[in-house]
Structure 1
Amino acid sequence: MTTTRDTRPVELRRTGFGPAPDAEALRAEPGVVRVPTPFGPSAWLLTRHADVRRMLGDAEVFRNGWTPADLADGPRRDPRQLSGDRSGNLLSLDPPDHTRLRRLLTPEFTVRRMRRLEPRIVEIVDDHLDAVERHGEPADLVSLFALPVPSLVICELLGVPPSDQDEFQARTARQLDMTLSEADRTALAAEALAYMQDLVARARRAPGEDLIGMLIREHSGAMTDAELVGIANLLLVAGHETTSNMLALGTLALLRHPDQLAVVRDDPGAVPPAVEELLRWISIVNSGSPRLAASDVEIGGSRIRAGDLVLFNLPAANRDPAVTDDPDRFDVTRRATNHVAFGHGIHH
């Protein structure tokens, strides 16, 4: 029997629901280690919970808004695969641009405004659960539920009209197909960008009650069209694949732990802590954008120099025995932990 060696960068490797053994081994070593990267220079890799939180919590020292020319080893290919400029993409911005946009965007995600969407979200979920039931056994949870539900919710959030939603969903699903060639994925990204530009142009003419419409109505002169397009694209990219994967893998985790499933199924009050435990235990996002050290700094006992790249592994950090008892055990009744499934700091 032969096994296939995992050639992906160590910060992207997984074993089942958890981190890869080599990421866990690095977490147990003293200090911080450097790892090779596929895009040029080596980088420091953080795997311990305390180190990851400290780095993500210091946006002044560990910068997001860098270019390849800022690297200590000289210009290299940018690994972040950002199309066009970074306008509106909060994940790639540093203060003060990040601060300004987040201040404008945060009121759109208040509990009151999200509750206005709740009846429509419940309707979307119910419709797709009914579709799964009508399909009969066996049913593909991913195609019938996990992929379309977040896509339709994002359509509601962004104000995608019903006449466009089928095409929007089909394009979004194809963008998540990792079997497509890079050229095909680039072309789909360009199509999505063009659609978002048209969506913003229509909202400028007649702003609705959706997120883009409210931003235009309440902050018309404070945000450019490019920033509105960037925000829309960010919500699509960051909100669709992650939610789809969480719905599917969260269901699989519960099915593989029937005792935990019974707790959640029989007690609605058990759902909130179960969601937090699923976020911690699965850590659906392996990592985030590489950070660039803006000055010399010591972290985890190692000296990181200005111009060095820093990577991080969230699954390893979320299963760090230094902060969670028996971290590999899936327990929906676990007391809430300071997990970093959503990151930490200003980009949380």
Structure 2
Amino acid sequence: MTEAPPYPQKRTCPYEPPAGYQEIGERGPVLKVRLFDGREAWMVTGYRESREILTHPNLSSQRTHPNFPIVAPRFRSQIARSLALIAMDPPVHDTYRRYLNPHFSLKAVRRMRPELERIVSGYVDDILEQGPPADLVASLAVPLPSLVICRHLGVPYADHEFFQDSSGAVMLGTEEESAKAAQDLVDYIDRLVADQVKNPTEGLLATLVRERVQTGDIGHDELVSIALVLLIAAHETTSSSLALGIITLLEHPDQLALLHADPSLLPGAIEELLRFIATTDLVATRVAKGDIDIAGHRIKEGEGVLVSGTLANRDGAVHTRADVLDLRRENPHHVTFGFGIHQCLGQNLARIELEVAFHELLTRIPGMRLAVDVADLPILGAGTVQRVLELPVEW
């Protein structure tokens, strides 16, 4: 019997999968992988198979299940295993989504566009005033999604450094660092929610307190857990996608030239970048609550399941020249935002943030280039969010 390959593996390039993933993909579309703790889990790598299993009724998000696949020590904490939405199955999950969906709909985020454009324009003003070299992580990729989600939720932006650092530690720290950072965030949000009860302000937190907590639909602690997920997810993944997208464009000058020549390609280009980069290596960690037959395999009840966005997005059975960045690709299908009932709540907001940021940078700093070799960029992340710590550019 062939030994299960190890998962996750570390990236050495910001936008390319680890070298060992080629072997995993070739063994797919469904195979066993070996996790850090020696346990094995099923991994789905095919695009069609990913969409199929993500809508299967026997797939569960209950992280408290003893066999739930943990891909890194930092995800063993009690908070990580009991997150609202992410670690929930219907019907509670569906109820929460029904409360939140209107606030993240395409119509809702389009109303935010003028404000987003003003915010991004201000950041680019500061970058140009400072002059090259500029670190786009510190000057744009990190503060933009932080400010946007602060305003949307009604969280004081004065505290942004605290939750930026804390959310980073939750996603990429050691087990102890992640658990402490998660508890710090819970305590912080707990105080915010309590304040909204006494002194309501503007924003989604105040709305949910008024419309859901005070009516008895959800409890105080439930809202704290929901806000924790929104704060981390909205900041961490969008920040990383923005930085990785810039790097990828600068490293593919022929594709960047297409955008300069025809800015109307930008919406489709963002979908292709999301497909190509796969900021979140995994789009799902699950456990089977009943047998699942897929691609000639039977996943038995109680077995762990992982869905690889990185490999599904580069499935040669779906995409021609799947490993090539092609901003003119007609159908850049991807599962970067997941699929099915757990599909990313904030995907509309993420897309519009990326579109506004890329447009402003390409228009106002057309000669932008990396100030260091791409191999020298500091990268963190394996199996979760890929993060670039610094992105120095010049022009």
Secondary structure, aligned partner of 2:330? coil
Question: Over aligned residue pairs, what C-alpha RMSD do you find?
Answer: 2.8
Whether contact under 8 Å (2:41, 2:305) holds in the other structure is yes
- 1:32 is matched by which residue type in structure 2? V
Distance in 1 (alpha carbons) for counterparts of 2:185 and 2:39: 31
Match of 1:117 among 112, 121, 129: 112
The structure-2 alpha-carbon separation of the partners of 1:254 and 1:12, relative to structure 1 and needing over 3 Å to count, comes to: same
Distance in 1 (alpha carbons) for counterparts of 2:260 and 2:216: 48
Whether contact under 8 Å (1:200, 1:225) holds in the other structure is yes
Whether contact under 8 Å (2:59, 2:287) holds in the other structure is yes
Partner of residue 21, structure 2: 23
Distance in 1 (alpha carbons) for counterparts of 2:125 and 2:29: 52
Distance in 1 (alpha carbons) for counterparts of 2:142 and 2:116: 14
Partner of residue 93, structure 2: 98
The structure-2 alpha-carbon separation of the partners of 1:331 and 1:298, relative to structure 1 and needing over 3 Å to count, comes to: same
Secondary structure, aligned partner of 2:293? strand
Distance in 2 (alpha carbons) for counterparts of 1:31 and 1:121: 40
Deviation at 1:88, TM superposition (A): 6.3
Q: Deviations over 1:188-233 (max 9, x none)?
A: 3222111111111122234333111222333342121122111211
- 1:62 is matched by which residue type in structure 2? L
Partner of residue 291, structure 1: 286
Distance in 1 (alpha carbons) for counterparts of 2:66 and 2:172: 31
Match of 1:198 among 187, 191, 204: 191
Deviation at 1:14, TM superposition (A): 3.4
Whether contact under 8 Å (1:158, 1:210) holds in the other structure is yes
Question: Greater shift after overlay, 179-188 or 132-141?
Answer: 179-188
1:24-43 equivalent positions in 2, closer than 5 A? 24-29=22-27, 32-39=30-37, 41-43=39-41
The structure-2 alpha-carbon separation of the partners of 1:82 and 1:271, relative to structure 1 and needing over 3 Å to count, comes to: farther
- For the pair 1:310 / 2:302, whether they are aligned, the reply is no
Secondary structure, aligned partner of 1:18? coil
Deviation at 1:300, TM superposition (A): 1.9
Distance in 2 (alpha carbons) for counterparts of 1:332 and 1:133: 27
Deviation at 1:12, TM superposition (A): 4.7
Whether contact under 8 Å (2:149, 2:231) holds in the other structure is yes
Partner of residue 359, structure 2: none
Secondary structure, aligned partner of 1:281? helix
Partner of residue 158, structure 2: 166
Partner of residue 281, structure 1: 276
Question: Greater shift after overlay, 126-135 or 10-19?
Answer: 10-19
Partner of residue 338, structure 2: 343
Distance in 1 (alpha carbons) for counterparts of 2:339 and 2:10: 21
Distance in 1 (alpha carbons) for counterparts of 2:147 and 2:127: 16
Between the aligned residues of both structures, percent identity stands at 37
Distance in 2 (alpha carbons) for counterparts of 1:196 and 1:243: 21
- For the pair 1:189 / 2:182, whether they are aligned, the reply is yes
Q: Deviations over 1:290-329 (max 9, x none)?
A: 2111112221211211111111211111000000011111
Whether contact under 8 Å (1:67, 1:78) holds in the other structure is no
Secondary structure, aligned partner of 1:330? coil
- For the pair 1:218 / 2:211, whether they are aligned, the reply is yes
Question: Greater shift after overlay, 60-69 or 145-154?
Answer: 60-69
Runs of 4+ in structure 1 off by over 6 angstroms are: 85-88
Partner of residue 64, structure 2: 67
Partner of residue 137, structure 1: 132
Partner of residue 5, structure 1: none
Question: Greater shift after overlay, 323-332 or 22-31?
Answer: 22-31
Question: Greater shift after overlay, 203-212 or 267-276?
Answer: 203-212
Deviation at 1:67, TM superposition (A): 2.2
Runs (5+) with no aligned partner, structure 1: 1-7
- 1:38 is matched by which residue type in structure 2? F
Whether contact under 8 Å (1:291, 1:309) holds in the other structure is yes
1:44-83 equivalent positions in 2, closer than 5 A? 44-58=42-56, 60-69=57-66, 80-81=75-76, 83=78
